[in-house]
Each structure stands twice: as structure tokens, then as C-alpha cells.
Structure 1
Amino acid sequence: MKKILVVRIGALGDAIHALPMVNELHRREPESEIYWAAGPSVVSFLKGHSALSGFITVNKGVKGLFNAAKLVRKKFDCAIDAQGLIKSAFIAASSSNMVIGRAWNSVREKPASFFYTEKVEPQKEHIIEQNLELLEPLFPNETKFEIKYDIPIHEHPEWKLLSETPILFNIGGGWWTKLWERENFVQLANRIDKVLGLPVGIVWGPGEEDNAKYIAAHSSAQLAPPTLFRDLAGIFSKARLLVSGETGPLHLAVAVGCRTIALLGPTAGTRNGPYGKEQITIEPQLPCRPCHSRTCADFRCMPMITPDRVFNEIANKLER
């Protein structure tokens, strides 16, 4: 029996992108124990996942990093760094003599590659497929991979609107450069109501309540009750469709089988967009993007996405 450590510390959306790799590893090595080193929010979200035997919680700061490295010290047969940062590579290298990561040219922080004994040069473009490629040193003759998430569906607050299979808006974005103006959501909600006659709901997270209330007050959209990220899996599984920027809830919706329309500005759909043929990505054509930047002095990408264009995509999607 092998013990394998996967390191993907932060960002819930990025953790979801790594789940197909973990599931594929579990499918091929069902007797192995797979552990995940991650921050507290990811650990809380993934608890109960069928492919995982346990977690190493990585708390913030230097102390949290070294405590995690101490906990895993040489206890694993193999470690896979799916993040590509110096800190994630350090934890991976602390845990095992066999450390898999991305090659110098493709790793996020280039010095991280010095920690790896097995370096993979990605051939695919989407991050989900790049994560799956990290399994190649373990299974060099295998070329076919399955895309499965197996997201745990938790209890969620009661919301009567879900019985009507609504179109949902996720209004947050993590970075301000990923945000779509609230007035755009107002216009879109009103047009959906007037033309399609379908219910619209708004999901929101910490720091987003004021904008969510504004949209609800100026449109027919209904506000979701307060939810945790883990609650959203059950909510999205009952939605007709989700409109969202490129952020964790978008990828969670895809993982539970919800159709999505993604509004992308600083990131690229080919790498970070919703994965699968059922999903739609709207992204403006600008020479400056994708910039992957949290700041911008000439912010044009998200404002170029109009409510009319999004509505047309919704209408076309629902006709299919």
C-alpha cells in the first residue's frame, strides 16, 4: 500500500480543478492512501470525499508552513505538487523522496522546480488536463484519463426558489478585475423575467451582500439565504443554469453538473474556463488579455461584456 500526498494549498476553485487528478489516482491505485495538504477552507470543503484518506492542514504564515512540513516529514511514498509555488513544493519535498511537479518553463514560481525529482512539461492547455498530466510519472503507459469530481453534496439552507429550477447569478469574483457590474446583473435579471419568464436567484459570499441586495432591490431576482461555499454544491445541482465570473463557485457548479455561462476578463477560457462542451465562455478579444492580473489601469475587458450578449447566450442555451 502506498501513501501519496497531493499538495494544493489554497483557492477553492483551484482545488476543484485538481479533483479529477485525485479521483483518477484513486481509480488506478484503489489500495493507496491519498492525503491532501491544503488550507483550512479547502480541508473543510473536501471532508468526506471518497478518494481521500485524510488531510494535512496548512495554516497561514511561515509557522503554518513549517508545522505542515514537520507533520508530513518523509511519511509518504510520493508527493504531487499541483500548485507550483515554492511553499507547496517545500511541503511536497519534505514529505517524500519522490516529488512530482511541473517543469521549469511551466511552473508558477520557477525555483519550485528545484524541489521536484520528476518534472512534467504540460502538453495540454486546460488546467484540469495539466493536473492529470502530473500522473504520467506514476503511470507512463496510460494515456486515457477520466474526468470525475465526486463533490460531496452537503445540506444547505432551505430556499424555496430552488423548487422552480432557477437561473442563478454568482456575483462575486475574488479579484475585482473579475467582477461584472451590478447594473449589468440588474438588466440581465429583468430581461430574463420579461422575455423568458424564468425565476432568477442570486448567490453571494462574504463582502458581496450589499451588491446582492442592490440587484435584488432593482430587479425580479431573489436573494439566496446566507451560505457557506460547501452549501453551494447542493444549490447548483438544482439550478437551470449559472451565470458567473471565473471564480470558485463557477467551477463548483460545473463539477456538480450545472450548465454555466462564464464571464471572463483577466483569465483565459482555454486554461481556466468552465470545463466541458456543455459550458459557455464569454470573453472579449483584447490584445492585453489574458493578463492574469488582480489590478488594471485600463480596465476594459469585463465592461465589454454586455447584458444583451449574455442574455442571447442564455436564450440559445435553453433552446438546445
Structure 2
Amino acid sequence: MQNVLVVKLSAIGDVIHALPVSYAIKETYPEARLTWVVEPPAYNILQGNPYIDELIVFEKKKFKSLGGFLANYGPFCDKLRQHKYDAALDLQGLFKSAAIAWSSKAALKLGTCNMRELSDKVSSPVIGAHANGHIVERYLDVARALGCRVDKVVFPVVISADDAKLARSYLYVAGCKGDIPYVVLAVGANWPNKRWPVKYFARLSDWIYSRGLLPVIVGGGALDEQLAEDISRLAEIPPVNMVGKTNLKQLAYVMREAKAVVGGDTGPVHLAAGMGTPTVMFMGPTDANRNGPYGQLENAVEVPRECRYCWKRACPKGLDCLAKIMPEMIEEKLARYLR
């Protein structure tokens, strides 16, 4: 195996789940050249990965118009085909990733067990031993089909000294001074029904303060900024606000150094779990068996509703999905790590 292409474009959480594939390939084929195609939002988390030789950025927005496609397809393919691939692994399983796998002209094209949008017509779906298990293991089944041994599961996230230094300075400026331990609260999520009520975050924040630790809110974008403001307004003591202060690598440092991380089924929370930080995840529309905190499924708190696991972005019943997960349920999971 001389050249391997991995196509995993987005979202950030999905790219994080696929990270162990890079380690598995290089452990089995250390001389192989590994190229990874990714979209811009998740690019940063792959930078510096010692098991990836080349990153190719796919900017989907440039291909949306006919003129954009005609202008960009040729240069993209030229870059993609600089190497003759022995295998392409389509871990996205969508039309756009299938088009990239097909354009690579790889001799062998493999995909995951749940291919969509006719991507299974380009890459052969791998129905492995973990087809009904965690998504990390489903991705690794594709690597196993390539002949990779998976002796251990490693999430390669390289945090530079500069990013660590900047993250520490951002924490200090935001209010984390001295050696007081802290708990990260990841308050945002792309799906509305993956967001925990702000009043519960406020109560949890006060509980964390009562245990002698600092609650630190993280996130990005205008919505998360508003959520942080609402939580601060409802809490007895405003938590430390780090929303929008870091890039992904700096955020990784913040979470790696935390006593624990709390949040929903989102990229930053999966990043924390991958790095081994104690991670408590509240879940409603998605299930822990597939998407829970990897290696820590006992820390998943699933909503006590019969309609959970609906995989809907917004509740068709108009319910506040996660409102039945009370702060005390999260505190019970956290308590063991905060002693």
C-alpha cells in the first residue's frame, strides 16, 4: 500500500470521529502516503497530524454554480491526482465525497456501511463487525477492510506550543486565574434539539462554583454568544465566558486541561472525549450507541422520552427535547470527577 486517500469533509464532529483511521493506516502501512480531503471548517483540527502527509481543502461553495464548477474542477483534480492512489476511503458517504473518490481514480474504493446519495455506486460499502456500533468503530471497519490492524484507538490532535500559550492567556484574560480547576460547558449545537436549556446551564454553573471550581463556557458564533449572555444573566455568579475566543486547536487545549467537559452531541464535545477528558454528554435526537462520548458511554445521559433517537434537527412535536434532562442528572455524572 503506497498511497491512500481519505475523504472526510465535514462536520467537525464527524472529522474528529474519523481521526483514528489515520493512525490505523500508518500503524499498518508506515511507508504509505496518506492524503486527506477536508472542507475548511474542520481543516484546523487536522493540521499537524503526524499520520497525514497532505491535506487537500475542498471548498464546496466554489463548485455550486456551473461557472464555478467549470473553473475549479480541473485544478482540484490536478491536485488530487498528483499521486496514484492504491485506495480511497469515502468516510462521508454522500454525492460530493463520491465524486471526489471517483475523480481520484483510486484502484480500490471503499465506503462506510451507511452510504447515501448513490455513493455506494462508486465505493463499496463495508459492512463490518461494528456496523451497528459507534461511528468511530464504523469508520475503523473501513480501515480494517483495507487490512489495517486496530490494536488501539488513537485520536491524533497536535496542539502547538503557540496555541497552548495563547489558550492559557485567553483563559487568564477571561477570568481563569491561578490554579483553580475548571469545567468546560459547551453550550451550542447546530441542531436546535441538541441544545440544553440555558436555565439548566445556569444552575449547573452555580453548582460547579459551589464545588470550588470554575465553569467555563465555550462556543462560537452569534447564537452561542447569546446563549452565554442568557446563562450569565440567570446564574448567581456569571461563568467564565470563552465563546469565540479560540480556534479549534486552542479550544482543544482548553478542554484537555479541564477537569471535565459537559455538552451535547457536537464537535467540541467529541474532541474532548477523544482526548480522554471526562466528558458528560446529554443526548436526545441521537443515540449514545452511535454518537455518545467515545470510550465513555457511561457518561451519556439520554433524554427519558419514548421519541428519542428520532434523528430530526428540530422536534416535529414542538417539544424542548432535552428539557427532561435535569441538572441533577448531569451533576451525578460529574461528581465522580470533581472530588
TM-score, with length taken from structure 2: 0.86
- How far does residue 239 in structure 1 lie from its aligned partner after superposition? 0.3
Structure 1: tracts of 5 or more residues without a match: none
| Residue from 132, 137, 140 that aligns with 1:129 | 137
**Matched residue SS, 1:262:** strand
**Mapping of residues 139-218 of structure 1, within 5 Å:** 139=147, 142=149, 144-154=150-160, 155=163, 156-157=166-167, 158=169, 159-160=171-172, 161=176, 163-194=179-210, 196-207=211-222, 208-218=224-234
Write the distance in 1 (CA, Å) between the matches of 2:271 and 2:102. Answer: 29
Alignment RMSD, CA only? 2.1
Match of 2:306 in 1: 287
Match of 1:222 in 2: 240
**Matched residue SS, 2:316:** coil
Aligned pairs, how many?
Answer: 312
| Residue from 214, 238, 243 that aligns with 2:257 | 238
1:267–1:291 contact (8 Å) kept in structure 2:
yes
**Matched residue SS, 2:118:** helix
Structure 2: tracts of 5 or more residues without a match: none
1:260–1:279 contact (8 Å) kept in structure 2:
no
Write the distance in 1 (CA, Å) between the matches of 2:286 and 2:78. Answer: 35
Structure-2 change in CA distance of 1:149 and 1:279 (3 Å):
farther
- How far does residue 269 in structure 1 lie from its aligned partner after superposition? 0.7
1:175–1:294 contact (8 Å) kept in structure 2:
yes
- How far does residue 317 in structure 1 lie from its aligned partner after superposition? 4.1
Percent identical across equivalent pairs?
Answer: 29
**Matched residue SS, 1:55:** strand
Kindly provide the amino acid, as one letter, of the partner of residue 223 in structure 1: N
Deviations 1:211-265 (A, max 9, x none): 2123234323111261122211111111000111110000111122211100111
**Mapping of residues 12-51 of structure 1, within 5 Å:** 12-51=12-51
Write the distance in 1 (CA, Å) between the matches of 2:90 and 2:16. Answer: 15
2:93–2:112 contact (8 Å) kept in structure 1:
yes
- How far does residue 279 in structure 1 lie from its aligned partner after superposition? 5.7
| Residue from 280, 284, 291 that aligns with 1:265 | 284
Match of 2:121 in 1: 114
| Residue from 71, 75, 85 that aligns with 2:84 | 75
Kindly provide the amino acid, as one letter, of the partner of residue 75 in structure 1: K
1:259–1:278 contact (8 Å) kept in structure 2:
no
Deviations 1:60-112 (A, max 9, x none): 24346835445324732210001111110111121112101135xx22x1511
2:186–2:268 contact (8 Å) kept in structure 1:
yes
2:45–2:157 contact (8 Å) kept in structure 1:
no
Relative to structure 2, which stretch is displaced further, 12-21 or 61-70? 61-70
Deviations 1:260-315 (A, max 9, x none): 10011111111011101476000123332212211223224311111121122212
2:218–2:241 contact (8 Å) kept in structure 1:
yes
Structure-2 change in CA distance of 1:70 and 1:265 (3 Å):
farther
Kindly provide the amino acid, as one letter, of the partner of residue 119 in structure 1: P
TM-score, with length taken from structure 1: 0.90
Match of 2:109 in 1: 99
